[in-house]
Structure 1
Amino acid sequence: MNIDTALKEAMSITGAVGVALVDYDSGMSLGTGGGGDWLNLEVAAAGNTEVVRSKLRVISMLGLSDSIEDILITLHRQYHLIRLMGGVRSRGSLFLYLVLERDVANLALARHHLKRIESDLQV
């Protein structure tokens, strides 16, 4: 699936407010969906790039031979889910960033859907 289709699929997840596909090497988004006045996805993409970089540094400093599947940031009214794009095909520096309304979202299902989207996405 292409980027636009992947973003539309992510926005169809119950509770989805916004989504972005982000390159954490540059901090730039390759595409966005949703968002709005209170959720600037470009700013969020750049900020979450720092979260990903920081966690990768810690894993490296600890000498862990493991990789990040996803990162969850829980706010009072929202979930912010960061799904790193694993595997080859030059997807190593990309992540999907999804913002969900906590009151209506099912976090387990959202994670499952993002995993499927990530595996089908062709970049």
Structure 2
Amino acid sequence: MPISFLQRLQELAGPAVNKVVSAAAGAEKVSAERIIHHLLVGLPELLGAAVVEVESGQALASYTTSREFNLSKVVGFNAEVVRQQRRALAVLQLGPEEQLEEILITLHSQLHLLRLLPDGRRFLYVAVDCRDTNLGIAREVMRTCEE
């Protein structure tokens, strides 16, 4: 039986861990949660994941394995990275067939991938540990989320 007071206390302690959290509603919520669950099947050892709206930088659904990995703060900055990269590509005037698909951020022990979803309004953000997941597997799982 869910007790709202206890749930509120847990929220004050930080983001939910090992649980898909959704901020969207209706069909958008269902879609975002489905994508996160698909990711968890393909990448069970991921550090964090989120479906993010590009313009607002808001996570529609997210999942993390650690309270220290605060996705609510990170996704806004990643949305800005996507917007800036789109502006940079527009300056290059490459043509309509050349669209941003993916951004890879490589750290010493982590990979952070941002993959635009087909609608262009949202992107999928995934963080994995390099020791647990290789780039090819992470990319393929993210690509299959689009289908």
TM-score by length of 1: 0.86
C-alpha distance in 2 between matches for 1:35 and 1:52: 24
Report matched runs for 1:14-29 at 5 Å: 14-29=44-59
Gap regions ≥5 residues in structure 2: 1-29
Deviation string 1:77-118 (CA, Å, 9 cap, x unpaired) is 1000001012xxxx2210000000111112101101100102
What is the RMSD computed on CA atoms of the aligned residues? 1.4
Q: How many residues align?
A: 115
The one of the two structures with greater contact order (alpha-carbon pairs below 8 A, sep at least 6) is 1
Residue 63 of structure 2: aligned partner: 33
Q: Which runs of 5+ in 1 are unaligned?
A: none
Which is higher, the Rg of structure 1 or of structure 2?
A: 2
Aligned to 2:124: 96
TM-score (norm 2): 0.73
Deviations 1:44-76 (A, max 9, x none): 110101110110000001111211111100001
> What's the CA shift for 1:37?
2.3
Structure 1 residue runs of 4+, over 6 Å off?
A: none
Determine if the alignment matches structure 1 residue 61 to structure 2 residue 63: no
Matched with 1:84 is 116
Query: Secondary structure in 2 aligned to 1:27?
Result: coil
What is the CA–CA distance in structure 1 between the aligned matches of 2:88 and 2:113, rounded to whole Å?
Answer: 19
Amino acid at match of 1:69: E
